[in-house]
Amino acid sequence: MLSVLGGSLAAPTIVRAQDTSPITIGGMLPLSGPGAIEGRQVLKGLEFAVKEANEKGGALGRQIKLVLEDDESNSTKGVTAVRRLIEREKVPFIVGTYPTAVVMAAMKVAAEYKVPMLSGGSTGAGATDANTPGDPWFFRCWPDSNAQGRDTADAILKRFNGTRIGIIHDTTNYGVTLADQVTKLITSGGGNVLTRDSFTLGEQDFSSMLTRLRGLKPDVLYVAGWAGDGANIVRQAYETGLRVQFIGSGSMQSDDFIRLAGPAAEGFAVATQFEPTTPNAFGRAFGERFKAAHKEEANSLNALGFDSTNIGIEALRRAGKPDGLAIQGMLKTGMKDFKIVQGPDGQTAAFDEKGSVNYPFFIAIVKNGRRTL
């Protein structure tokens, strides 16, 4: 009895003496170079989740500090960034990063150090497929690019009644994977893929390609790539006189896309897992808090950054210690009741054995300069 009393009396003092310093968590995103638009949007979600967690007292009685690394969408820099976060900053988990190719290089290193990663926007199926089933170290709280492609192909065929379809994609892993998959699904679903064109990341002039496409008279054009390039294509198509239903890949969910494409963005469709008007009540509440803090509407990149960080922090709380292995264990099975802001109402962070969460995407259409569901 005495020893129990002594233990319970002594324990809190030890904990307090031990550590009141903040727990550092890692964030790794492209903050410059290609992908920086997307990276900076995701970052707002990370920062917002950390801020809210700290206002509620942090985790394990300690404040949370976010340490950032810029991977510049470059695999080599990504690997260095992960090493630096783990070795120098001793982070128990990392939220990152946006490009799937960089994730695939970085996740191997993180797994060796037994530090889990939560996606900072990477949607490519390659990343979660590279996990050992049942023992994932990379977690993505939304469906992979295959699911995104499936829901997009569905929309092309059923919602827009596309029969003559054109596909434009960039030459990154993301663009090629999506284009391959959509091509396959459309062909098997009875649509006709008239043409496939590729472009280099950051290419500026699409006028001749779009002129040729205009001659082919497609009824739907699918663009797989990053927001800046997508906006350039949609705008130049408008200038070329190509009037067609455009549908884009997930990275074109940002408001920057609409701003850059201007009036040409009207009618543009995109598969999305979050909108401020989402039927997901937890998501709508997040959207309102975010808007109050930032004076702008939350977008899906903000939302996914928020979810990944929020899940990581909660897993850290539930694990009871800032330890990578314990957090990974909690992420694998212990988060099935934890609500996320993306996806349909009541969606939770129920990771499957590959580290993915599965739910259907919404299809949003731009009307009067805003995406509407």
Partner 1 sequence: VDIFLQYLANGIIIGSTYVLVAVGLTLIFGILGVVNFAHGEFYMLGAYVGVMAVMFLGVPLFVALIVVLGFSALLGLGAEAVLHRPMRERDATSSIIASFGLAVALQNAALLAFGPQPILLRTELANISVELGPVFLPFQRVLIPIVMAVLIGLLYVVLRYTWIGWSLRAMSQHPTVARLCGVRTSRVAIVTFMAGSALAGVAGFLMSSVFMVHPLIGSMIVLKAFTVVILGGMGSVTGAALAGLLLGITESMTSGYLANGLRDIVGFVFVIAALLFRPQGLFGRAIERS
How far are the Cα atoms of 62, 231, 266, 275, 345 from residue 370, in angstroms, in the given order? Answer: 40, 15, 9, 10, 22
Instruction: Write the burial class of residue 172 (CB in 10 Å: 0-12 exposed, 13-18 middle, 19+ buried).
Output: buried
What's the farthest any 2 CA atoms get from each other in the chain?
88
Q: In whole angstroms, what is the distance from residue 144 CA to residue 150 CA?
A: 10
Q: Which is nearer to partner 1, 32 or 192 (CB)?
A: 32
Would you count residue 54 as binding partner 1 (CB under 8 A)? no
256: contact with partner 1 by CB under 8 A: yes
Please give the residues from 278 up to 307 whose contact with partner 1 meets the rule CB under 8 A. Answer: none
Does position 266 interact with partner 1 (CB under 8 A)? The reply is no
- The 9-38 site mask, x for binding partner 1 (CB under 8 A), equals ----------------------xxxx-xx-
Q: Which of 13, 190, 215, 295 binds partner 1 (CB under 8 A)?
A: 215
Given 20, 161, 187, 207, the residue binding partner 1 (CB under 8 A)? 207
First to last CA, the chain: 62
Q: 119 with 141: CB under 8 angstroms?
A: yes
* Residue 239 in the binding site for partner 1 (CB under 8 A): yes
CB closer to partner 1 out of 76 and 200: 200
Q: Which is nearer to partner 1, 146 or 232 (CB)?
A: 232
- Residue number with CB closer to partner 1 (86 or 231): 231
Tokens at 347, concatenated: 């969606």
- Total of chain residues touching partner 1, rule CB under 8 A: 32
Q: How many helices (H) and strands (E) does the chain have?
A: 13, 12
Q: Which of residues 167-206 bind partner 1 (CB under 8 A)?
A: 168, 171, 197-200, 202, 204-206
Q: In terms of C-beta distances under 8 Å and separation of at least 24 residues, what long-range contacts does 229-234 make, across chains too?
A: 229/170, 229/199, 229/201, 229/202, 229/203, 230/257, 230/261, 231/256, 231/257, 231/260, 231/261, 231/265, 232/204, 232/206, 232/260, 233/168, 233/206, 234/261, 234/264, 234/265, 234/268
Q: Which of 106, 127, 209, 234 binds partner 1 (CB under 8 A)?
A: 209
* Cα–Cα distance, 48 to 23 (Å, whole number): 16
Pick the closer one to partner 1 by CB: 36 or 117. 36
Q: Is 68 in the site for partner 1 (CB under 8 A)?
A: no
- If the CB atoms of residues 157 and 242 are measured against partner 1, the closer one turns out to be 242
Residue 148 CB, nearest approach to partner 1 (Å): 23
* Options 6, 7, 134, 262; binder of partner 1; rule CB under 8 A: 262
Q: What is the helix (H) or strand (E) element at residue 245, kind and residue range?
A: strand 245-248
Measure the CA–CA gap between 298 and 334, rounded to whole angstroms.
28
Per-residue mark of binding to partner 1, 135-174 (x: CB under 8 A):
---------------------------------x--x---
The residues that touch partner 1, with contacts defined as CB under 8 A, are 31-34, 36-37, 40, 168, 171, 197-200, 202, 204-209, 211-212, 215, 228, 231-232, 239-241, 256, 260, 262
